[in-house]
Amino acid sequence: MAIADVKEYTHLTAEEVEQLGAELDALRAEIEESRNSKDADYIYKMIRLQRGLATAARITLGVSAYHRRTRVPGAVVGGAMLGVAKILENMEIGHNVMHGQWDWMNDPEVHSSNWEWDTAQPAEQWKHSHNYVHHQFTNVLGYDNDIGYGILRMAREQKWHPVNLGQPLYNAALATLFQWGVALHDLDLEAIRKGEKDPKVMKKQLKQIWQKGRRQAVKDYVVYPALSGPHFMTTVYANAAANVTRNLWSYVIIFCGHFPDGAMHFTEEQIEDETRPEWYLRQMLGSANFEGSEMLHVLSGNLGYQVEHHLFPDLPSNRYGEISVRVRQLCEKYKLPYTTGPLHRQYGQALRTIIKLSLPNRFTSGDREDVMEGQMEVARGRKSAEQLGSRRPETGKYAAAAS
């Protein structure tokens, strides 16, 4: 069930919500104030490590291809190294730099306005669909395209259609081709389907995706394999394996962020006149963490601290661990849920939802914690499509219907 009024749902008074907001603001200011050269060293170290690993992987793949005895082990080791390098690049470096987490360093080379990442989606489009739409409208049904990526039915409120029966299959395809799914994200397939997309914008975006995607594909499937001479295909397989590994990994991490059972959805009533502290509350209730080793957190771009990331998307990722301790204390103090668990359980719950929701609601039971009595989505009545009017793609908001 989706939440229409986060304040009522959490049983907090207006003053308590304000107070919580002030405490989170203070936490943010404290972290901002304490950023220092150790943080800068962290991201530079990550960048050096990632580039070094990528170079070593490419050399291993290139050189080993020329000897019969090293070809297969070289492809396996090189492919694995390349996969890890791509994971680091996308998660801990690209995602976080483009969130502006390192803008405070004032380094033009590690700045959200200049960074381009090593995947098919152009940075500019990602910064709109992810940084803006997803992080602003987190888990608000109809606004946040990250709920199912326009492909999967991920909330019981979303209308079932026979096409959803194939959901387990679409899910597998999305996971395997994740970077290409992400590449199409900002296009907003649903808006295109409804004929609401500005054709000029669509043309520009498609051109950007084509240019970026082509460069990425040519690199991995033409240029590097060509360097392996007669063993062109060995390198193609290894590179494809690295790309798929990265795709599967980032898909799993990202699905653990908002789809485990504890993460709530919201209706558009919630974001009407939403205050900053209410926005914080929505981020906390809508996100889910997972637990694990330090290595796991680095490889997941510290998105195991999804709650903290959603509260403070532009604070440096290496600080999320320490922030999480404080956020948990606040959750205890205000009796708020803090969703976390081991990675396999969090993903397992997301997967269960994907499979369940391929069927109509009447065949399945809801796993998400029931929203409190009477204050569910219909507290003030859902608006009809006519009332909502057409969605403005640039904000994700609905324009007021003509009166």
Partner 1 sequence: MSVKDRLSWDGVRRAGAQLTTPLLPDDYLALVNPLWTTRELRGVIEKVVPETEDTATVVIRPGWGWRYTHQPGQYIGIGLQVGGRFHWRSYSVSTPPRRRGRTLAITVRAMPEGFLSQHLVNGVEPGTVIRLALPSGDFVLPNPPPARILFLVGGSGVTPVMSMLRTLDRRGTMPDVVMSYSSTTQDRMIFRDELAELAGRHDSLTVHERYTDDDGMLVLEDHLDELCPDWRERQVWACGPGPMLDAASEFWDEAGLEDRLHLERFSVNFTGEGGEGGTLTFRSSGKSVEIDGATTVLEGGEQAGVGMPYGCRAGICHTCSVTMVEGKVRDLRNGEEFAEPNGSVQTCVTAPVGDCTFDI
Say whether residue 356 binds partner 1 (CB under 8 A). no
C-alpha 274/C-alpha 38 separation (Å) is 36
Which CB, 136 or 245, lies closer to partner 1?
136
CB of 277 to partner 1, least distance (A): 17
User: 391: alpha, beta or left, given left = phi > 0 and alpha = psi -120 to 50?
Assistant: beta
The closest of 345, 255, 367 to 300, measured between CA atoms, is: 255
Q: Which is nearer to partner 1, 34 or 390 (CB)?
A: 34
Question: For partner 1, what does the binding mask look like between residues 17 and 36, x meaning CB under 8 A?
Answer: ------------------xx
Pick 48 or 335: Cβ nearer partner 1: 48
Of residues 105, 177, 202, 388, which one binds partner 1 by CB under 8 A? 105
Compose the 234-273 pattern: x for residues touching partner 1 by CB under 8 A, - for all others: ----------------------------------------
Question: Is residue 48 a contact point for partner 1 (CB under 8 A)?
Answer: yes
Q: Closest approach of Cβ 159 to partner 1, in Å?
A: 29
Q: Which H/E stretch holds residue 178? A: helix 178-183
379 to each of 8, 21, 271, 402, how far by Cα in Å?
Answer: 10, 24, 14, 25
* Least distance CB 122 / partner 1 (angstroms): 9
Using the minimum distance from each CB to partner 1, give the nearer residue, 51 or 352.
51
Note whether 216 binds partner 1 by CB under 8 A.
Answer: yes
Q: Which is nearer to partner 1, 219 or 345 (CB)?
A: 219
Tokens describing residue 309: 């990331």
Q: Could you give the count of Cα atoms lying within 13 Å of 330 in the half-sphere of its Cβ?
A: 22
- Residue (of 265, 283, 256, 246) closest to 342 by Cα position: 256
What is the C-alpha separation between 186 and 232, in angstroms, rounded?
A: 34
Size, binding site for partner 1 by CB under 8 A: 40
Run of H or E residues at 368:
none
Terminal-to-terminal C-alpha distance of the chain: 31
Quote the strand ranges of 223-262, DSSP E: none
Span of 10-18, 170-178, 210-218, 302-310 interacting with partner 1 by CB under 8 A = 210-218
Closer CB to partner 1, residue 146 or residue 261?
146
Pick the closer one to partner 1 by CB: 302 or 346.
302
Report if residue 131 touches partner 1, rule: CB under 8 A. yes
In the list 111, 326, 345, 397, the residue contacting partner 1 (rule: CB under 8 A) is 111
Task: Tell me how far apart the alpha carbons of residues 167 and 128 are, in angstroms, rounded to a whole number.
Answer: 27
Q: Which of 18, 21, 80, 136 binds partner 1 (CB under 8 A)?
A: 136
Structural contact between residues 391 and 191, judged by C-beta atoms closer than 8 angstroms: yes
Alpha-carbon torsion (267, 272, 275, 279), positive or negative: positive
User: What burial class does residue 370 get, using C-beta atoms within 10 Å of its C-beta: 0-12 exposed, 13-18 middle, 19+ buried?
Assistant: exposed
> Residue 397, interface with partner 1 (CB under 8 A)?
no
Rounded least distance, CB 397 to partner 1, Å: 12
Q: 10 Å Cβ neighbour count for 218?
A: 11
At 342, give phi and psi (nearest 5°). Answer: -65, 155
Whole-number minimum distance, CB 187 to partner 1, in Å? 18
The pair of three-digit structure tokens given for residue 299, joined into one six-digit string: 């490889």
If you compute the radius of gyration of the chain from its CA atoms, what whole number of angstroms results?
A: 22
- Minimum gap (Å) between residue 106 Cβ and partner 1: 4
Both tokens of 210, joined, read: 């084509």
Distance of CA 127 to the CA centre of its chain: 12
Give yes or no for residue 398 binding partner 1 (CB under 8 A): no
* Identified binder of partner 1 from the candidate list 14, 29, 30, 52, rule CB under 8 A: 52
Of residues 264 and 323, the one with the C-beta less far from partner 1: 323
Token output for 385: 């499509």
Confirm if 259 and 353 have CB atoms less than 8 A apart.
yes
- State yes or no: residue 221 binds partner 1 (CB under 8 A): no
Using CB under 8 A as the binding rule, whether residue 275 contacts partner 1 is answered as no
- Each residue 57-96 as x (binds partner 1 by CB under 8 A) or -, in order, gives -x--------------------------------------
Give the interface with partner 1 as residue ranges (CB under 8 A). Answer: 35-41, 48, 51-52, 55, 58, 100, 103-109, 111-113, 116-118, 124, 127-128, 131-132, 136, 212, 215-216, 218-219, 223-224, 314
